[in-house]
Structure 1
């Protein structure tokens, strides 16, 4: 995708995590790596997608089409709706999680050391109305050995549920270490 930066506009913005920022580009998304950990997550997603395709489970995962140092390209799936401006854990009795989803959650945990997959922000709905994994590249080891130290140092933001000082709505805020006093949400300008 030669002109990938042209899609990275406010109008195409879908969301931001601690290590990647996501924009829509037609039927694809561009995940811009904000940190080395984001690149590593994208590489892990590519590896997992290829393995799930080999095993016949590709329809449960948003396809990772390209991974470059600065960005990755993945098939678009509509994000699940937030509840009270925040993501939430999907429970095993959630009707959207099929028996195959539950088996895949166990497989990803056991074989790929996957971390935090039941968060609703890690799922989307594809064009066939199927719930698919869209953010599935974080491992427990990477989280503990890379993400946590960087978050503690204020390099990678942690997500806090607090009131934004601009819009006054209680929602997820990105906080960079214990000395970050800027309590604005992404919509009010904090990146």
Structure 2
């Protein structure tokens, strides 16, 4: 199955298989896998980082809380699928050790510290960066953005309106208050993804 996904990934990346979109990658689910399609070269860097981080953590036997990475190239990466966390009031939120203790596995803090200190990972507590395993515990599914990548590449492009930033506002089409993808200060298109804005 993996070889088939790598060879014919475009055939599988259809809207009915869509599961999420970030500023640099769009994600589709195929069976027990996700295909992350790069929307920008930063997406490639994130996928490369995830693959390298996973491999190094696996060698240290610290990989169980990280989504397994199977493959990456210039266009895509393939990872194990985990069910996403539900939004609260149509937006993501920060994982809190007290409020979300029922979701947090035993070695969570150790892995969090390892990703922060040894790999320079950024935005590690945002709920959109996690999935849930079969026991309903957190698994990192998006951990390839580093602080240096964020500061040197992502921020300048977001400020220029090339990459979207996420704002919580009312969609002008459906009228629901939710996360909107906004491209710089001059972007007046306040539609959500579901209403057609990528």
Task: Classify the TM-score, shorter chain.
Answer: over 0.9
Return the alpha-carbon distance in structure 2 between the equivalents of residues 62 and 190 of structure 1.
28
Match of 1:148 among 147, 155, 177: 155
What residue number does 2:170 align with? 163
1:42 aligns with 2:47: yes
- RMSD, matched Cα: 1.0
What residue number does 1:62 align with? 67
Return the alpha-carbon distance in structure 2 between the equivalents of residues 190 and 140 of structure 1.
27
What residue number does 2:196 align with? 189
- Kept in 2, the 8 Å contact 1:76–1:126? The answer is no
The superposition leaves residues 78-99 of structure 1 with CA deviations (integer Å, 9 ceiling, x where unpaired) of 1001001110000122211234
Return the alpha-carbon distance in structure 1 between the equivalents of residues 64 and 89 of structure 2.
29
1:103 aligns with 2:110: yes
Displaced runs of 4 or more, over 3 A: 127-130
5+ residue gaps in structure 1? none
What residue number does 1:76 align with? 81
- Kept in 1, the 8 Å contact 2:164–2:182? The answer is yes
What residue number does 1:180 align with? 187
> Given the two structures, how large is their TM-score scaled by the length of structure 1?
0.97
- Kept in 2, the 8 Å contact 1:32–1:72? The answer is yes
What residue number does 2:144 align with? 137
> Given the two structures, how large is their TM-score scaled by the length of structure 2?
0.94
Return the alpha-carbon distance in structure 2 between the equivalents of residues 129 and 55 of structure 1.
24
What residue number does 2:122 align with? 115
Deviation of 1:59 after TM superposition, in Å, equals 1.6
Match of 1:14 among 11, 19, 36: 19
What residue number does 2:3 align with? none
Deviation of 1:125 after TM superposition, in Å, equals 1.2
Return the alpha-carbon distance in structure 2 between the equivalents of residues 149 and 55 of structure 1.
35
Residues matched between the structures, number: 191
5+ residue gaps in structure 2? 1-5
- Kept in 1, the 8 Å contact 2:105–2:138? The answer is no
